[in-house]
Amino acid sequence: MKRKGIILFLIVNLFIFSETESQRNINQTQKIEEQEKQRIEQERVLKEIEEKKKELDNSKLDLPQVEDTGPKFLINHIRLEDDEKLLTKGEEKNLVSKYEGKELGSSDVTKLIIEITNKIISKGYITSAVTISENNDLKTGVLKLIIIPGVIEKVEINEEKFNDKYKEFFTFSTNKGKVLNVRDLDTSTENFTSIRSSGGANMEIAAGKEINTSVIKMTNIMKDRVEISFKGNNHGQSSQSGVWRYGLGLQIDSPFGINDSLILSYMTVNRREEDRSWKKKESELKPGEVMPIGPPSYIPGVSEQLPYKRRTDLVDISYTFPFRTYRFNFSANTSLNEGTLYAFNTVFDTLNATRQLKFGVDKILYRDQKNKIVLDLGITRKRTESYLEETTLSDRTLSIGNIGLSYSTSIFKGLLSASIGYQRGTKLWSAERDGIYKLRENPKAQFDKYVGNLSYYKPIVKGLAFRFNTSFSRTNDVLYGSEKQSMGGPGSIGGYNTSSLSGDNAIETTAEISYTIPLNEWGQLIPYLSYGYGAIKNNYDNSRYGHGYMTGITTGLRYSSKYFNFDLGYGHPDSYSDYIQPKDHELYFSSSFKIIF
């Protein structure tokens, strides 16, 4: 019993302060998926920004170059009637002040009208106009102008059937009778194009029946809404836990007809179910009988090593749907791992499981031609269980609320994105509660943590692109292993899949350069090279493991097409803390074969 007590003490501390295998599986999978989504989103957003800029530039009016030959009038004051407040007071002053106190002719007034018109166009009001008030007498020294807002008469989607009206309610933030702003239309267009099968959205703004009104005509024909994928990778850490994983994926676009998305995924490994009939419970032992360490014929040091168990199951479900300027999301993840621990000439079977539920909502607070600000709110419930044989090592539930702001803009012909967030461990959903006697060195359930991310994507020349990404976390508390920021391996710093780092405070930075080789209808081939740096620090830990760093290189080849994708990478550790023992090199492979209909 003494040996089991020692093992329990060591393993309990291991599972509390570090990631369990089940939690690492979830974190790694989510990280790789988020990176792939980020790559696709960066390319899509930058392309849309460039297209919208061209459209707005083409909508602006050219200033007349003809000199005035007619009469001029001294204009001391310019009144701009703007009932819908399309311009701010500061914008209005900047536009009219340079014309006040001067003698103006017809061409000068035309220039002023064009400047005001171009300003409201640049703000997205592309169907609004500026004109001279009918009640105008320039001899009084006052020039009266009016901004006539262009409003939406109606929205038409496809054939205007019931399901089209239903979709309009969810996707359009600007409706009948409201001032038309192309930025609101950009949000609506994004609601259509954010799913894989949208095939794009063609929008036409036509003249309405009433004066100064417009009809928005949207055409969005979805095709290939269902995708079934057969996928696999070698992202497991060891042969004992299973290096090769394989599974199925299912993605259904717009299952409820509102441009929503449902994604399901299941991954597993080749299981090993070993005979443990020789094991006995303590209650089954006879007086004086010793707990068996193996089958009757097993002799430590002579017989073959006792076989190990292996099981890994990963299940992911996510559902998202838009509602005008909001996007709601729900996800559920389960990771189950069975393994074997060798100690004291025998084996102990382990089981750890992680279950996560997450609800979140994003709200677009502001957007213009190239800038976008989004508020995100969410709450996550995590339950982590760890067992050694029939003994419970840990069983905890955490509830984490988060609030954050993200900002994206086009700069230097690239896309810059930044986000900052705050996370707080709550007491909701039967979460663990910190007792008043918990020491500062103990992990907290009600913790405070700040997280952030900065990324930049820039196409350099045709096909060649540069990507930079850095993420950090900061806290004064000691965190459970599931809440620490981890790094190393596929989707992170290359060369450390078997020896990752995690810490209460951490920073990770990667830079990648890639070149896209188009293969026409066969898809595209993308060779890439990335370099990463990461560092961690654990609070109130003065041991050599309390802080650490790693740098590594990943080079590889991605291929993507409609029906088949793969990513083959080579990871090599560069420099690292002395207690980390990575392999000299690692090979990463993932692929998916898709059936689409």
Give me the residue spans of the domains in the chain: 433-597
Q: Three-state SS for 484?
A: coil
Which residues partner with 306 through β-bridges? none
Give the model's pLDDT for residue 197: 80
d(CA 179, CA 148): 10
Q: What are phi and psi of 570, to 5 degrees?
A: -120, 120
Q: Does the pTM exceed 0.75?
A: yes
Chain centre to alpha carbon of residue 44: 14
Best CA proximity match to 424, nearest among 379, 455, 376, 363: 379
> What is the Cα gyration radius of the chain?
31
Give the model's pLDDT for residue 287: 87
Give the model's pLDDT for residue 205: 87
Provide the CB-side half-sphere exposure for 536 (13 A, CA). Answer: 25
d(CA 203, CA 220): 9
Q: Three-state SS for 293?
A: coil
Asked if 594 and 229 count as a contact pair (C-beta separation under 8 A), the reply is yes
d(CA 17, CA 434): 16
- CATH code of 433-597, in short, is 2.40.160
Which residues partner with 94 through β-bridges? none
d(CA 433, CA 405): 28
- What would the 3-class secondary structure string for 424-442 be? EEECCCCCCCCCCCCCCCC
Which residues partner with 154 through β-bridges? 215
Q: CA geometry: angle at 530 spanning 527 and 532, to 5°?
A: 165
Which residues partner with 587 through β-bridges? 570
d(CA 298, CA 345): 10
Along the 597 residues of the chain, how does pLDDT read in single tens digits?
445 555 554 455 555 544 566 777 788 888 888 888 888 888 878 877 777 777 666 666 666 665 666 788 888 999 999 999 999 999 999 999 999 998 888 888 889 999 999 999 888 898 999 999 888 877 788 999 999 999 999 888 888 888 888 888 888 876 778 899 888 888 888 888 888 887 667 888 898 988 889 998 888 878 889 999 999 999 998 888 889 999 999 999 999 988 899 999 999 999 999 888 898 888 888 888 888 888 988 888 888 889 999 999 999 999 999 998 999 999 999 999 999 988 878 899 999 999 999 999 999 999 887 899 999 999 999 999 999 888 888 899 999 999 999 999 999 999 999 999 999 999 999 999 998 888 889 999 999 999 999 999 999 999 999 999 999 999 999 999 999 999 998 999 999 998 889 999 999 999 999 999 999 889 999 999 999 999 999 999 999 999 999 999 999 999 999 999 999 999 999 999 999 999 999 999 999 999 999
Beta-carbon contacts of 475 under 8 Å, excluding residues fewer than 6 positions away, are 447, 448, 449, 450, 504, 505, 539
Q: Please write the tens of the pLDDT for every residue from 460-492.
A: 999 999 999 999 999 999 999 999 999 998 999
Beta-carbon contacts of 70 under 8 Å, excluding residues fewer than 6 positions away, are 105, 106
- What would the 3-class secondary structure string for 255-289 be? CCCCCCEEEEEEEECCCECCCCCCCCCHHHCCCCC
Q: Which residue has the tokens 């849309």?
A: 48
Asked if 493 and 534 count as a contact pair (C-beta separation under 8 A), the reply is yes
- Taking CA atoms, 14 is separated from 8, 18, 205, 274, 358, in Å, by 10, 6, 62, 25, 26
Angle formed by the axes of helices 182-193 and 162-171, to 10°? 120
Q: Which residue has the tokens 């069975």?
A: 338
Using a 10 angstrom Cβ sphere, with 0-12 exposed, 13-18 middle and 19 or more buried, the burial of residue 136 is middle
Give the model's pLDDT for residue 516: 96
Asked if 293 and 344 count as a contact pair (C-beta separation under 8 A), the reply is yes
Q: Three-state SS for 539?
A: coil
Cite the DSSP H helix spans in 73-220: 89-96, 106-122, 162-171, 182-193
Give the model's pLDDT for residue 520: 87
Which residues partner with 25 through β-bridges? none
End-to-end CA distance of the chain: 59
DSSP codes joined into one string, 551-582: EEEEEEEEEE-SSEEEEEEEEEEEEE-TT---
Q: CA geometry: angle at 226 spanning 220 and 228, to 5°?
A: 150
